[in-house]
Structure 1
Amino acid sequence: MILVDGQPQDRVSAQDRGLLYGDGLFETVRLVGRAAPLWPRHMRRLAHGCERLRLPMPDPALLWREALAAGEGMAQAVVRITLTRGTGARGYAMPATPHATRVVAAFPMPALDASAYRDGIRLHLCATRLAEQPALAGLKHLNRLEQVLARAEWDDPAVAEGLLCDARGRVVSAVSANLFAVVDGVPATPALDRCGVAGVARAEVLDALPRAQVRDLPLDECLRAGELFLTSSVRGILPVQAVGDNVYVPGPVARALQAHWAALGFPTEQA
């Protein structure tokens, strides 16, 4: 089901600023029955994004009711909450009093391959580079054209994700997930103060691994890591098996975090 401003429909105005300028934010929430283990983190990130973009934050209780209504009847669902600045006069200037558009849509949870959690996944090293824009760094804003271009770089079904760097060759993330590397026994994840999306699963892992470092991660250092894994609010903890010709073995840090993920209330696909 798709709800637009609380009403069952699948259309927004052709003058909506989300469509015209990518002026808005979104959250992608995994719903398990009538529970969403990472919901508080999603709401905190949405509120933070609204503050930075000067958008009115919807009532989280309203969003929760709409998420449950949209996902009604699904054992598991992926709920996308999209918030735009709504319509306004032509041009880039923000409306003095924005009337946000709120879209809550639920889709059946895609099947997840147990072997990916057991053995890991292959990554393509993307030629597309992420541009630096500190004003938007960390936000899950609506403009995802860099990720669209990066995802178009491969069509091999054996490759599940892509590895993205910035223009200076520092690793940022996967195309649709965050990345952690275990370097000399210490987990590290790229700093996201210049570009990239600060995922809620990444935040959960950082709380679960207090010794993890948030820092610049040059590509050559990343590829030499003893262990690589991805974090995603929908897919959970995915070990990396290979990046191009660089091969890895799922390690103890990823295994411990898979157990942590299951303890949060998510099904254990790797079982």
Structure 2
Amino acid sequence: MRVFSGSTRIEAVAPDDRGLAYGDGLFETMRAARGEVPWWDAHCERLQAGVRRLGMVLPDIGLLRAEAAALLAGDDAVLKLIVTRGSDGRGYAPELTATPTSVLSRHPLPPTPPAAGIALRWCATRLALQPALAGIKHCNRLEQVLARAEWNDPAAADRDAFDGLMCSTEGDVVCATAANLFVLKNGRWSTPTVDRCGVAGVCRAWAKAALDAEETRLDVTDVETADAVFLCNAVRGILPVARLGARQWLPHPQVAALRAQLASNHPAFIA
């Protein structure tokens, strides 16, 4: 196993690495507090599930954790881990026993989102249905790249949006470009199923259990008529939504309570 680490990476990944050539790999983006990753085990469980799904060799998790601790050096930071199948010859047929390439990198914490809640927009780019890849965090994120580019244009509507919501090609709402979605309606929390596309987020799993939320198919109307909406991911935690297009929401006590509960569970999200 090869392990590269550094906040400024100067090591070279082999030109025939399948992660570079085909996106044949997985990644995890983690929030660290004082050099520790509180959800390390949850991230590793998802990584292991992805490795099994893709038929890859699992890297040495113990070595990766030691490298991560050295890289973080006791600081608050964002830690990214990329695991690819490794180097192989040209062609799609994978070498099932190839030595994986693991890349660890450290990044600054993201800016603090607006205290009053974030603004969202709808994305025109749709997510293709592919159950074989649904749920895992694989390295092909071109749909999200295209979606996020939609409001880079200075003339774009909702250019101030924090994130955008994405639907599948069949029209059901799946997620934001970089977060999972939860909505409150008729006293019940729900989150989109990710059995055909989308990522089963680590923070999503925590919030789903904390809220006893159901997984279901949601359409655009379900979101726009919800009583409360929030996004979540493992780096930013719980993000209350204040606006989606013309629809606006006031701060909701259940979302505030969930953020407080998360702060007691994960020291990086203490307000």
Match of 2:24 in 1: 23
2:166 alignment partner, one of 164, 167, 171: 164
1:121 alignment partner, one of 106, 118, 123: 118
Match of 2:155 in 1: none
Distance 1:257 1:166 in 2: 28
The answer as to 2:194 corresponding to 1:192 is yes
Kept in 2: contact 1:25–1:83 (CA 8 A): yes
Match of 1:63 in 2: 64
- Mark the runs of 5 or more structure 1 residues left unpaired by the alignment: none
Pairwise CA distance, 1:23 = 0.1
- Structure 1 segments (4+ residues) deviating >2 Å: 6-10, 155-158, 265-269
Kept in 1: contact 2:81–2:105 (CA 8 A): yes
Distance 2:260 2:160 in 1: 25
Kept in 1: contact 2:3–2:102 (CA 8 A): yes
Match of 2:216 in 1: 215
Distance 1:188 1:268 in 2: 22
The answer as to 2:94 corresponding to 1:94 is yes
Distance 1:255 1:81 in 2: 31
Q: Which has the higher strand share?
A: 1
Match of 1:139 in 2: 136
Pairwise CA distance, 1:60 = 2.2
Distance 1:185 1:95 in 2: 50
- Mark the runs of 5 or more structure 2 residues left unpaired by the alignment: 153-157
Kept in 1: contact 2:31–2:268 (CA 8 A): no
> Residues 170-229 of structure 1: CA distance to partner in whole angstroms, max 9, x if unpaired?
11000000000001110000000000011000001112122x110101111111100000
Match of 2:179 in 1: 177
Letter in 2 for 1:78: V
RMSD: 1.7
Q: Determine helix, strand or coil for the equivalent of 1:99.
A: coil
Distance 2:137 2:161 in 1: 24
| TM-score computed with the length of structure 1 as normaliser | 0.92
The count of residues paired between Structure 1 and Structure 2 equals 263
Distance 1:204 1:154 in 2: 30
Distance 1:165 1:104, change over 3 A: same
Kept in 1: contact 2:110–2:236 (CA 8 A): no
Distance 1:96 1:236, change over 3 A: closer
Identity %: 46
Kept in 2: contact 1:71–1:107 (CA 8 A): no
Letter in 2 for 1:123: L
Letter in 2 for 1:228: V
Letter in 2 for 1:106: R
Distance 1:241 1:172 in 2: 19
Distance 1:265 1:191 in 2: 25
